[in-house]
Amino acid sequence: MGTYCNTDEHHEHRSLSQIQAIKLYLTGRKPHIKCDRELIQEVLFDAVVTAPLEAYWTGLALNKSENSDKGVEIAYLGTHSGLSRTSLFVVPEQLSNQDFLTAEDKEGVFNADHFPLWYKRAAEQVPGTFVYSIPFGGNENKSVVLASTAIQLLDDRKSPIVASVGIQMKLDFFQRKFWTASRQCAALDGKCTISCDNEDIKCYLIDNNGFILVTEDYSQTGLFFGEVESAVMNKLLLMGSFKRITLYDYQALCREYAGSSDSTRSLSHPFSMVKWLLTKLVIFLLEFNLYSWWHVDLSVKAQRSRGKTMMVPCDTEYPAFVSERTIKETTGNIDCEGCARSFVIQQIPSSNLFMVVVDNKCDCSSAPLVSMDPIEIMRMPWSVEEQQASLPPLQQHCSPYWPLSLAGDHTVLEAHRPGPNNGPNTGEIDRQAHHQMLTTDREPRQQEELAHN
């Protein structure tokens, strides 16, 4: 059961929200409503246990010395049972990102069938790790950074995840903290022999999927590291510091010239063949009935469409990249047409971030580009053997945010359907959806049922 109460079974219940259904169920006023009593008890328990957080967050908001420059804007918490709490440290009009919480998150605190992306990403990391990311997609922008971490029931790696907490902060606030720490390392602590202010080097802060969070060139924030430093990314892939994963998009749109002669392309796909036949049938019926009236207009429109592009359904594949967790620090050299260029990558402790320092003395612009642009494929794997071959390797650990998850299940890689702001097949991959694909997205209650069977 994915939700607290089943409001679809009876017509008079369909207009009820989950919280309304729970109230009616607990008061006994609607005895016919079927609800998950255990799940309701869990979320009520979480509501009581986390209640002191409201006072704690209010105290922080009132203490202006703790957040004098208003760098931290939101604090949030989500529990395994579906309870969510948020607290604003600035007035709503001053929020850098007004769309932090998705529509599903805003439906109410009772939302057990939907785990926010920040919750799942934190739960999938090593316990005690903070996950930093820049939300991209829809109306979101790259002006904020999300930082979240998972909370375990016990101080044990095998203990289940019970909640996730985090903050939303301004991107420029986060970047100032990074540059201040790097300068302090060189000037005060004396641990760093060279500073990122040195013109002979470039410093990057990237996440575990290779996206840039901090760099001297602000316009590169949010870009994939391979698009900026292709030579270094190729070397990291060769060394095994990052690995490439192929993702498929079954609902992509590709550009095609209206006058293209490649009209049989879509027939290589079984479902495309059905759509093609239906489309031809509709066009035939329209022309059969209306040809005598619109013969001239149709001819003119057909001539005007020549040479123009149109969007057609297609299948695409594109790469995603994941860092190797065991890599703590790696150095390497790149041969750029006789010039040796060195770099170092080091993991930031207790985070999903890596600092990459590259020297500037060589021009490596001729290196093969490491791009995330989708590529149209003429055929998807349809046989059982081909589908199994395209799946990622089996996981060797249980999902940390559900104790009853089955070890050895496949990681679900969901295809991204381009949104209104993402040009199809143009390489403008939605960052948030990208992380969604790399995150194990399981239905907890379904796994509990599997575990009991």
Residue percentage of the chain with pLDDT more than 90: 21
Nearest 5°: CA angle at 129, between 324 and 406?
A: 70
Amino acid at 138: G
Q: How many domains does the chain have?
A: 2
User: Can you say how many angstroms the Cα of residue 162 is from the centroid of all Cα atoms in its chain?
Assistant: 21
The full 3-state SS of 111-162, as one line of letters, equals: CCCCCCHHHHHHHHCCCCCEEEECCCCCCCCCCEEEEEEEEECCCCCCCCEE
Angstrom distance (rounded) from CA 117 to CA 323? 19
Among the candidates 281, 304, 327, a domain finishes at: 304
Higher pLDDT, 243 or 384: 243
Among the candidates 173, 199, 220, a domain finishes at: 173
Q: Are residues 21 and 143 in the same domain?
A: yes
127 pLDDT higher than 50? yes
In a domain, 297, yes or no: yes
The predicted pLDDT at position 374 comes to 86
261 pLDDT higher than 70? no
Structural domain span for residue 114: 5-173
Residue 125, both tokens: 């990391």
Check: CB of residue 167 under 8 Å from CB of residue 76. yes
Higher pLDDT, 10 or 354: 354
In a domain, 384, yes or no: no
In a domain, 284, yes or no: yes
375 pLDDT higher than 70? yes
140 pLDDT higher than 60? no
The predicted pLDDT at position 450 comes to 36
Ramachandran angles phi, psi of 186, nearest 5°: -85, -40
Binned at pLDDT 50, 70 and 90, residue 267 comes out as: very low
- CA distances from residue 400 to 17, 105, 128 in whole angstroms, order as listed: 29, 21, 12
Average of per-residue pLDDT values in the chain = 73
In a domain, 33, yes or no: yes
Binned at pLDDT 50, 70 and 90, residue 175 comes out as: very high
In a domain, 313, yes or no: no
Higher pLDDT, 183 or 237: 237
Binned at pLDDT 50, 70 and 90, residue 11 comes out as: confident
- The DSSP 8-state label assigned to residue 2 in this structure reads -
Q: Are residues 148 and 294 in the same domain?
A: no
Binned at pLDDT 50, 70 and 90, residue 232 comes out as: very high
**For the domain that residue 17 is a member of, what is the CATH number?**
3.30.450
The predicted pLDDT at position 59 comes to 85
Among the candidates 285, 304, 323, a domain finishes at: 304
In a domain, 108, yes or no: yes
293 pLDDT higher than 80? no
Mean pLDDT, range 408-429, rounded to an integer: 36
Q: Alpha helices of 135-269 — where are they, by DSSP H? A: 171-184, 225-228, 230-239
Angstrom distance (rounded) from CA 235 to CA 382? 34
- b/e for 230-252, b at 16 or more Cβ within 10 A? bbbbbbbbeeebbeeeebbbeeb
DSSP-based three-state secondary structure for 79: strand
The predicted pLDDT at position 109 comes to 46
User: 148-158: per-residue pLDDT in tens?
Assistant: 999 988 877 77
In a domain, 40, yes or no: yes
Tally of residues, the chain: 453
In a domain, 412, yes or no: no
CA torsion 177→181→182→188, rounded to 10°?
Answer: 150
Of 55-59, 411-415, 438-442, where does mean pLDDT reach its minimum?
411-415
The predicted pLDDT at position 397 comes to 46
Q: Are residues 19 and 157 in the same domain?
A: yes
Of 61-70, 252-261, 278-287, 411-420, where does mean pLDDT reach its minimum?
411-420
Amino acid at 449: E
Of 123-137, 185-199, 217-231, where does mean pLDDT reach its minimum?
185-199
User: Can you say how many angstroms the Cα of residue 180 is from the centroid of all Cα atoms in its chain?
Assistant: 29
